[in-house]
Amino acid sequence: MTEYLHGYNLVIDPEQGTRQPDGTWAQDVTLVLLDAPGPECRRPVAITLTPEQARELAFELLAAAEHAARTTTPQPEGDDQ
C-alpha cells in the first residue's frame, strides 16, 4: 500500500554519526517525511542514512526526476487532480 506524505525535512544531528576507520566522524543524515497539517494527519516518518546512503538516495531521486520530466504527458481534459 502506498502512503502519500506531503513534505519532508532533512536533519544532520551532530550527535548522530559513525566513527570512521581513520578516526574521522561521518555524520548521519535523517530524512523526515511529513503529512499535511489537519485533523487526520499522520505522525512523521523518519529514516537515518549514512552519508553514502544519502548520496545513493539523492542520485536515485535525481535519476527518477529526470526520467519523469522526459516522460511527462499532458493532463487529460477534465482531470483536476
Q: Grid coordinates 543524515 are at which residue?
A: 29
User: Percent of the chain beyond pLDDT 70?
Assistant: 90
Whole-number Cα distances in Å, 43 to 29, 31, 40, 46: 19, 14, 10, 10
The pLDDT of residue 79 is: 59
Residues of the chain with pLDDT under 70: 1, 72, 78-81
Residues ≥6 apart with Cβ < 8 Å to 80: none
The pLDDT of residue 72 is: 66
Q: How far, in Å, CA of 81 to CA of 69, rounded?
A: 18
